[in-house]
Amino acid sequence: MVSGYFLTEVVLYGFGAALAELPGNFIQAGSAVAIGPLVVLALQRIARAIIRRI
């Protein structure tokens, strides 16, 4: 993900701007890895509760 963002930003904004965005892109990727599984677990619990009512 980060490499794709980086390459796109190099094309659109230049190397310096793309390089400056790298820390933010890494934070975004790390947050997704940390928060994503928690969201999945919560949605699975909600889905199970809904299915039990049917």
Cβ atoms < 10 Å from Cβ of 26? 13
Q: What is the pLDDT of residues 19-54, one digit of tens each?
A: 999 999 999 999 999 999 999 999 999 999 999 998
Average the pLDDT over 4-8 and give the result: 97
Query: How many whole angstroms separate alpha carbon 42 and alpha carbon 16?
Result: 40
Average the pLDDT over 2-19 and give the result: 97
pLDDT of residue 3: 96
Whether the pTM exceeds 0.85: the reply is no
